Structure formats: C-alpha cells, structure tokens
Structure 1
Amino acid sequence: MSGIDVVVRRARAAAQERPVRALALHGLAATGTSWNAYGQHAAPDVELWTAELPWGQVGAPAWSLPGGDPADWIGAAMDKVPGGVDVLIAHSYSALLALEHLAAAPPQARPGALVVVSPFHRRDPADFRWDTAQHYLSIFQDVFDEALGLAATRPLDPGMRQDMALLVRDRVGPYGWFRFYGSYLRSPFLDTAALDLPVLAVAGRDDRFAPPEDATALVGTLPRGRLCLLEGCGHFPMAERPREFADAVHAFVSESVTSAGVS
C-alpha cells in the first residue's frame, strides 16, 4: 500500500475569511464527485475538500491485497488538508475506516467533529451469521447499480446499467469485498468509548446496504453521538437528499465546531 498515493483537492472555497474546513471521503468504487451536490448546498462558511482514495474509481486495485491497514489512508488524507481538518465527513466503507482510525488516533490528531454517512456497525459479534455474508455477497453489485443511477445525467438502460455495475464489482474484486466485510466484522470491537468527539451519523431509512439500525446501534455506543435519519432515502443521502443532508450537517457543525471556534 505504501506505493499508492492519495490526492486531496479543494472542491469549494468558503465565502468568509475563517472557514470551517471539511474533508469528505467517498465510499468503495466512488470518487470525490460523490460530494458535488452537498457542495452546492453546504453552508457558506464551509471550505470543502475531497479525496481520491485507493478504493475509489481511480485507485489501483492493489490497495485491497494483504498487507497494511487501509485505515491509514484516512490519516494520510487528513494530513494533506492545509490548516487541518475541522470536520471529517466519511461515507459507507470510508466511514468504517474513519471510525477505526480515529478511535486509535491521539486526540490532537483528530478533527473537531466527525460525520459518518450510511455507516456499517454491529454491536455484537453474534449479529454476524453465514446468511449475513451471503446477503452482502449477493447484493454487492446492487450498491454500484444504485450509484450509477444517481450519477447519470440521463436515464440509463437498466440492462446496460446492470452490466456497468457488474464491471465495477469485478474491478473491486474479491479482495476488495473482503476488505469491506473484514472491517464490518470488526465493528463490534470498535473502541467507541475512545471516540470522545462530536459524531453525527446520517442514514437513509430505505438503505438496503447499511441499514439504519446500524447507525442507531453505533450512536448508542458513542459518548457524543447524534443520529439523523432521512425519510425516503437510500445509501447516498448526500446525493439523494442534498438539501436535507446539508442542513443536518450545518446544524451539527454550528453547534459542535463553529460555536467552539475553528483554527
């Protein structure tokens, strides 16, 4: 993994001198453009940064091979934001990794607040059974199909979209799936007590991939957790409900970061 770089770019400047620097991390097989709709609705004081991570569309497939810890890339991305990160926003697989990374990081290396979007989390190892693994194997390509539909500028033929989703699935490959599922399997062992920073979990009530019960379970274990469930929303709240998503993030940031002051 040491030979794979992470690229961070400023996606939107703030409209005031003292911005709130937000770094947004995409999920598996996605890109920084996942946050375009949020950037259009974000509060004026938000300076939005996005990262192109190894598990994204433009990453090298070798990221998923044995060796190293993908969570290290969360810290690598944060280190590249000039002035530091006030708010870290992470979606799906990146949310899993962000929670792992920040739980182990010293307080001075953490952002002021964390937003996890469509997080995967289970509280008890017994919550994982053989049929759980089978479920995630069988629907793995469906999440890519859903993402393609949201990203398309015009309706795609369903058959063509499914074929494209299968190509994305095959590019991620079994090792990529195993990296995702391995992180999910570790979630009951996450040291949530160590995550003593404001955390907002945003989930869609209709999410078939990261069920809203996961977000509820996670928030119930966090010292300073807060939950936002969006109605009529699936796995991509920032794209499906960008206004409601931005409003929820803005209210959270205003209370937990802006009121405390930013550097």
Structure 2
Amino acid sequence: MTAFPVLRRKSTSDSPVRTLLLHGLGCTNAMWDEFVVHADGRLELWDVTLPWHGVDDPRWSHGEDQATALAEVLAGFDAVLAHSYTAGLLLEVFAEGLSPAVPSVLTNAFYRAGAEQFDWSTITYYLNDFHLIFAEALRWGPAARLTEQQRSKLALRLRDQIGPHGWVRFFATYLRSSTLDLSEVRAPQLVLSAACDIAARAEDGRALAQALPEGRFAELADCGHFPMLERPERFARLVSDFLSDAAGSWSPHTTDVACLELT
C-alpha cells in the first residue's frame, strides 16, 4: 500500500500528541475538517488517504491483506483516531500484533462479541442497505444542499464504485471482529458510538469497550454514523479529552517521522 501521512495541523504545545486520522470505507479526509477546527491545540493532526476510499481505483479490494497494509502507516504516531471500517482494521492490527497498540479512538466501529451473533438476517441487512450508510454522510456538508433523491443516487453510485469485492472485504473484517483476542491490546482505547447509528450498533460498541483491557466507552445521543460531521464540537471534546489524557500518560513512539510528507 503506497500511502503517506500528511500534516493537517501543527500543535500549539511544546509536548504535542502526534495523532493520525483514519477515514472509513468510501470516505475522504474531508470528513475530519470540522474536527480539525475544534480539536485540542495539543494534538498534532495528520491524515492519510487510504486505498479503500473506493472512488478512484477499486483494485484495492482485490489484493493485499488490508490490516497488514494499514500497519505500514502507523509508525511514529502517539495516538490514532479511526472511523467505521478502518476502526475495525485498526483493532485487528493491534490484536494481531502487527503494530504496537497506542491510545486510540475507535469511532463507530463494527464489532460483535461472538460469532453466534451473526446470522443470515445480518448479511441481508448490510448487503441490501449498504448504500444507506453513505446516504447518511451526504446529509452533511456541501451535499446537504442536494435533494433527498439526488443524495440517494449519489449513495448508490458510491456503493457501486466500492463494488462487491469491496463489500466482501468490509463484511469479512466485521466477521473477524468476533474472533479477535483483545487481551493484549493494552493501550487505552476509547470506543465512541452513536445512539442513532444505523450501521454500527451502540450496544456492540459498549461490548467492545468491555472486552478491551483498557477500554472506555462513550455514546453520543441524537447522532448517527458520522458524529464528526453531525456533532463536531461534542465529538471533538470527547476525543480531545481522551487523547490529551491517555496519550499524554502513554510512552510515545521514538520512531523518526522524517519520511512522512508535509503539506
């Protein structure tokens, strides 16, 4: 995977918390714009365009293991903020020891506590209504000016760009979440869920936090799958408070980050 983190915002602190922002499936880094505005000044914010944004080249879903690919971009960061599909991949990276665990915010992560919690109706829901997740994102930002019909068409187009192979990658990651051994994920993890999320259930987020040795749980009311777009100030406050506290007390990486590209 050829992906290089890019600096979004410098820290105002002499002791910055170098934080990597990871978008989800079918998303771009624009989803973090409001968070960058409201985030605590101590956080040095970076982002990276991951292959599974899904709109330029669908071949991302045909090849390499995505967890291994994700692990390549994590070196040198004190903390990570990951959304949705990528939050599940990050959890896999830490659980499998592909990269050392660091304090992270797992936002709207897909998780089930046991394999028996998946049944045929689960597959039906996520297959037939997959586009509705993208329709949620289009209700915010510039796309909010469009009609509901226009947003629905765009959501279906995005689903088609991700394609069946991309959906299978997504659902396979979801299935694997129920088999992960989380006992060695020792860094503090904030599982942030939303009460009105139609995709990643808040009850599963709570179960994930309970399964993590250093797990914490927070739930945003009146919010769906994209809290950084829907409730940016509340979202930023929760994330900033956690990362400033957890990452500040955690032993930081010593990895040289000179190889990372700056804007």
Same fold (TM over 0.5): yes
Distance 2:79 2:56 in 1: 24
In the alignment, structure 2 segments of 5+ residues that lack a partner are 254-263
Structure 2 equivalent of residue 69 of structure 1: 65
Shift of 1:105: 2.0
1:193-235 superposed Cα distances (whole Å, 9 cap, x missing partner): 0211100011110001001011011111110000010010100
Shift of 1:252: 1.3
2:211 to 209, 221, 224: 221
2:77 to 79, 82, 85: 85
Structure 2 equivalent of residue 38 of structure 1: 35
Contact 1:26–1:34 at 8 Å: present in 2 too? yes
Distance 2:229 2:177 in 1: 26
In the alignment, structure 1 segments of 5+ residues that lack a partner are none
Shift of 1:253: 1.8
1:102 to 88, 94, 109: 94
Structure 2 equivalent of residue 113 of structure 1: 103
Structure 2 equivalent of residue 49 of structure 1: 46
Q: TM-score, normalised by structure 1?
A: 0.91
Distance 2:144 2:216 in 1: 36
Q: Number of aligned pairs?
A: 253
Structure 1 equivalent of residue 153 of structure 2: 163
Label 1:59 to 1:90 Cα distance change in 2 as closer, same or farther (>3 A).
Answer: farther
Structure 1 equivalent of residue 168 of structure 2: 178
Return the structure number with greater relative CO, CA threshold 8 A, min gap 6.
2
Structure 2 equivalent of residue 10 of structure 1: 7
Distance 1:127 1:112 in 2: 28
Distance 1:116 1:200 in 2: 6
Pair 1:243 & 2:222 matched: no
Contact 1:91–1:116 at 8 Å: present in 2 too? yes
Structure 1 equivalent of residue 112 of structure 2: 122
Distance 1:128 1:118 in 2: 18
Distance 1:61 1:110 in 2: 29
Pair 1:253 & 2:249 matched: no
Shift of 1:58: 4.9
Amino acid at match of 1:207: D
Shift of 1:123: 1.0
SS in 1 for 2:138: helix
Q: TM-score, normalised by structure 2?
A: 0.91
SS in 2 for 1:85: coil
Structure 1 equivalent of residue 259 of structure 2: none
SS in 2 for 1:88: strand
Shift of 1:147: 1.1
Distance 1:203 1:23 in 2: 19
Cα-Cα RMSD:
1.6
Label 1:162 to 1:114 Cα distance change in 2 as closer, same or farther (>3 A).
Answer: same
Pair 1:149 & 2:139 matched: yes
Label 1:217 to 1:180 Cα distance change in 2 as closer, same or farther (>3 A).
Answer: same
1:2-45 superposed Cα distances (whole Å, 9 cap, x missing partner): xx421321111111232111101000110111111111111011
Shift of 1:59: 4.7
Shift of 1:261: 6.1
